[in-house]
Chain A
Amino acid sequence: MELYNGPLDTKEIFGRWLDEQAESNYGAYIPFVGTIRAEDGIEALSFDIYEPVLQKWFDAWQEKAAALGAVVKMAHSIGDVPVHTSSYISAVFSPKRRVALELIDEFVEDFKANAPIWKYDVKNGERIYAADRSTPMYGAGLLG
C-alpha cells in the first residue's frame, strides 16, 4: 500500500508494479485507475486518511488474495488532487484472468465502502465534506 501527498504518478506506479512481478509467473495483471472528473464546479477533490485502520483493511485483503494465489496492490492520495488527475489506483495479479477480474471488482467495491478515507470537494479553495456520496462503514451507529 502506497500513500502520496497530491496526485498519483500512475504510469510510474503501474510500471514499477509490473516490473516487480515480471518474474512471478502471473498470467493476469488488471489495473484500475480512479480519475477526478470535472463536475459541479470543483477544482479538485481532497482526502483525509486514517492510515492505521486502512493498513489493517489492506492487510486483510492481501491475505484473502494470497489464499487465491493472487496479489492486490493499491496507492492513494492524501490532500488535494486536481481534476483530470488520479487519486486512487489499484491492481490485481493472479495466475489466471478469472481470479483477477473477480478480485478487482470485490476489492474496489469494498474499498469504496470500508476504507477509512474521507473525501472533500474543493470549490473556491474551500474544502466541503462530500457527505452525500459517503457511506457509513461496517458497524456504523454503534454509539448512536
Chain B
Amino acid sequence: MVKVEFLGPIGKAPMEMEASTLADVSAQLKEDTSLIQWLDKCAVALNDTMVNDLETVLKDGDRISILPPVCGG
C-alpha cells in the first residue's frame, strides 16, 4: 500500500492504494472526479523528494504528495 496526500487548497483527505508505479497512482486518481481540475496542474513528491517520471517504482509504505500551483511571498 502507498499513501497519497493532497496538499494546500486541494482539501481532500489522504488516500491509500495498491500501486507499483506512479502510473498506477495516476490511473486510480483519474477515476476520482473531484481531482479532474487538479491533476494537470499538480507536481508530485515521493517521500518528500520531487519526482518527474511516471515509471518511478513504488514500494510498500511510500508516501506520495500532490502539490498544486504555488504562490509564496
**For the complex, would chain A's binding face be called helix, strand, loop or mixed by DSSP majority?**
mixed
Interface size class of A (residues with CB under 8 A): 35 or more
* Cross-chain contact B72 with A112 (CB below 8 angstroms): yes
Q: Which residues of B contact A130 (CB under 8 A)?
A: 71
* Cross-chain contact B68 with A138 (CB below 8 angstroms): no
Q: How far is the CB of A111 from chain B (nearest CB, A)?
A: 6
* Cross-chain contact B7 with A140 (CB below 8 angstroms): no
Q: Which residues of A contact B44 (CB under 8 A)?
A: 139, 142-143
* Cross-chain contact A87 with B52 (CB below 8 angstroms): no
* Cross-chain contact A139 with B50 (CB below 8 angstroms): yes
Query: With the chains together, A118 CA to B44 CA distance in Å?
Result: 15
Using A48-B8, A50-B7, A118-B8 as known contacts, say yes or no to A139 and B43 having CB atoms under 8 A apart. Answer: yes
Using A137-B67, A139-B52, A141-B40 as known contacts, say yes or no to A53 and B73 having CB atoms under 8 A apart. Answer: no
Least CB separation from B40: chain A residue: A144
One of A116, A139, A141 near B70 (C-beta < 8 A): A116
Q: Which residues of B contact A115 (CB under 8 A)?
A: 70, 72
